[in-house]
């Protein structure tokens, strides 16, 4: 079975009780048992829910994993990862410029339990190798990163980690399994914020972990039930429904993303464009090798806070909002929105300037998106 067929059918087999082609939303907390210890495999809904299981089966198939686990948010999924695999004294290498919530979780919560994190420029495999310590247990990659679209070579870093028994985790939220499948490149665990492209309609918050190894699956399953940060049945259903059109949407995000990036790259008021699908992107070759499309995330620099404000306050179609991955185009200002908690000097060092604008290019007619950006840029 190929990707789009799996997206539509795995987990969504007709309901055995009624033949319903859409998986029912099993909005229940518990299940009646026939006798003591006699039940249909369902006892309590934190542990088992058929709607959640349907989503989990679909996600495992799309990423090529043995199992998937769905959580209440992307952050709950990342938190479960730490709970499942790390102990006090362990060390983790993390892509610098990782999602702000991930940085906050690691630094403000897990550091106080004795887990140590190093933030490394994972563009450079040599730097990852230099950062290794005897107690390194995990390498946490985000590729491409937000908002500068910096890539890490998943295969090369997995080859470094595997013989040392270090797990490689990839946050695949930006590409989705349609464009990038980290497990096939050697990673051990994939993280998703299903809130973004997987759901795709900006109407649900959720997260997931997908694993290669059956023992890892058991550990995550234990944590999912023990800590209990499960996705709700309604949200599981919304994500499952979103996934059915994931290939269609991703193709459109990609086509529109490329067109918007080209438009911006040629615009005289734009100083710099960050998009892995532009041949001028320093990691264009890696992007072509590791991903099968470039997606809809584009960042560009107009040079100053005042100019960025003019653009952000002049757009009419693009909504000024955090988040990404929905069918509607969203535009944001990383320095004051998603990355406001990063200290200014650190932002400067990473390249998140005050003139930087990020767009999550949606699935509208691209001429309309470009016309909106054009009229907003004209006001600078
Ligand atoms: C949004 C996001 C998260 C966190 O997910 P939530 O669903 O908001 O908890 C993690 N990683 C990346 C790359 C994200 O974009």
What is the pLDDT averaged over residues 3-29? Answer: 96
What is the pLDDT averaged over residues 232-249? Answer: 98
In tens, the pLDDT along 201-215 reads 999 999 999 999 999
In tens, the pLDDT along 38-63 reads 999 999 999 999 999 999 999 999 99
Q: Sorting pLDDT into bands at 50, 70 and 90, what band is 133? A: very high
Q: Check if 249 has its Cβ closer than 6 Å to any atom of ligand 1.
A: no
Catalytic residue among 99, 178, 197, 274: 99
Q: Check if 195 has its Cβ closer than 6 Å to any atom of ligand 1.
A: yes
pLDDT at 342: 80
Centre of ligand 1 to C-alpha 74, Å, is: 5
Is pLDDT of 82 > 80? Answer: yes
65 backbone dihedrals φ, ψ, rounded to 5°: -100, 175
> In ligand 1, which atom is closest to the CA atom of 146?
13
Whether residue 111 lies in the annotated active site: no
- Residue whose Cα lies nearest atom 7 of ligand 1: it is 74
Q: Check if 192 has its Cβ closer than 6 Å to any atom of ligand 1.
A: no
Taking each continuous run of H as one helix and of E as one strand, the counts in the chain are 14, 12
- What Cα–Cα distance (Å) separates residue 372 from each residue in 211, 231, 317, 357, 369? 41, 36, 6, 14, 5
What does the radius of gyration of the chain's CA atoms come to, in whole angstroms?
Answer: 21
Compute the mean pLDDT over every residue in the chain, rounded to the nearest whole number. 97
Alpha carbon 190 to its chain's center: 9
Whether residue 44 lies in the annotated active site: no
5 backbone dihedrals φ, ψ, rounded to 5°: -65, -45
Whether residue 46 lies in the annotated active site: yes
Is pLDDT of 95 > 80? Answer: yes
Query: Can you list the positions of beta strands (E) in the chain?
Result: 67-71, 91-95, 116-120, 136-142, 167-171, 189-193, 207-211, 272-274, 297-301, 319-320, 330-332, 356-360
What is the pLDDT averaged over residues 14-23? Answer: 94
Specify the 3-state DSSP secondary structure of 120: strand
Q: Check if 334 has its Cβ closer than 6 Å to any atom of ligand 1.
A: no
- Residue extents of the structural domains in the chain: 3-243, 246-377
Whether residue 121 lies in the annotated active site: no
Q: Which of 72, 147, 193 to mutate to test the pocket of ligand 1 (most atoms within 8 A of CB)?
A: 193
Q: Check if 207 has its Cβ closer than 6 Å to any atom of ligand 1.
A: yes
The answer as to CATH 3.20.20.80 being correct for domain 3-243 is no
Is pLDDT of 341 > 80? Answer: no
Q: Give CA angle at 322 (371, 141), nearest 5°.
A: 110
- List of residues 6+ apart from 336 with CB closer than 8 A: 354
- What Cα–Cα distance (Å) separates residue 113 from each residue in 95, 100, 110, 242, 340? 21, 20, 5, 37, 26
Is pLDDT of 135 > 90? Answer: yes
> In ligand 1, which atom is closest to the CA atom of 142?
13
Q: Check if 11 has its Cβ closer than 6 Å to any atom of ligand 1.
A: no
Is pLDDT of 193 > 80? Answer: yes
Q: Sorting pLDDT into bands at 50, 70 and 90, what band is 227? A: very high
- Residue whose Cα lies nearest atom 15 of ligand 1: it is 173
CATH number of the domain at 246-377, please?
3.90.1150.10
In tens, the pLDDT along 149-189 reads 999 999 999 999 999 999 999 999 999 999 999 999 999 99
Is pLDDT of 97 > 90? Answer: no
Task: Give the strand pairing for 297-301 and 167-171.
Answer: unpaired
Centre of ligand 1 to C-alpha 194, Å, is: 8
């Amino acid at each position: 079975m190929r990707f789009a067929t799996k997206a539509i059918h795995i987990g969504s087999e007709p309901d055995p009780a009624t033949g319903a082609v859409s998986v029912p939303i099993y909005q229940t907390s518990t299940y009646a048992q026939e006798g003591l210890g006699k039940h249909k495999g369902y006892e309590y809904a934190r542990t088992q829910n058929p709607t959640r299981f349907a989503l989990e089966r679909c996600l495992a198939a799309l990423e090529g994993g043995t199992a998937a686990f769905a959580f209440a948010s992307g952050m709950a999924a990342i938190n479960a990862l730490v709970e499942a695999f790390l102990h006090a004294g362990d060390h983790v290498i993390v892509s610098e410029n990782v999602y702000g919530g991930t940085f906050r979780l690691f630094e403000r919560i897990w550091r106080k339990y004795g887990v140590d994190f190093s933030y490394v420029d994972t563009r450079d495999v040599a730097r990852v190798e230099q950062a290794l310590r005897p107690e390194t247990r995990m390498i946490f990659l985000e590729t491409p990163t937000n908002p500068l679209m910096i890539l890490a070579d998943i295969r090369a870093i997995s080859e470094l980690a595997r013989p040392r028994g270090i797990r490689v985790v990839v946050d695949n939220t930006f590409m989705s399994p349609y464009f990038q499948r980290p497990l096939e490149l050697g990673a051990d665990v994939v993280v998703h914020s299903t809130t973004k492209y997987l759901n795709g309609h900006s109407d649900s918050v959720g997260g997931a972990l997908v694993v290669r190894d059956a023992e890892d699956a058991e550990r995550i399953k234990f944590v999912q039930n023990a800590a209990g940060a499960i996705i709700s049945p309604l949200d599981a259903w919304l994500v499952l429904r979103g996934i059915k059109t994931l290939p269609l949407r991703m193709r459109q995000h990609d086509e529109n993303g490329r067109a918007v990036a080209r438009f911006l790259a040629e615009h005289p008021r734009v100083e710099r464009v960050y998009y892995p699908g532009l041949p001028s992107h320093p990691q264009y070759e890696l992007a072509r090798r590791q991903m099968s499309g470039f997606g809809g995330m584009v960042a560009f620099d107009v040079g100053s806070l005042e100019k960025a404000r003019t653009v952000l306050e002049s757009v009419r179609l693009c909504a000024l909002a955090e988040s990404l991955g929905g069918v509607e185009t969203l535009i944001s200002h990383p320095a004051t929105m998603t990355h406001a908690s990063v200290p200014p000097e650190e932002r400067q060092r990473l390249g998140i300037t005050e003139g930087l604008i990020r767009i999550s290019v949606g699935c509208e007619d691209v001429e309309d998106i470009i016309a909106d950006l054009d009229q907003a840029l004209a006001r600078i």
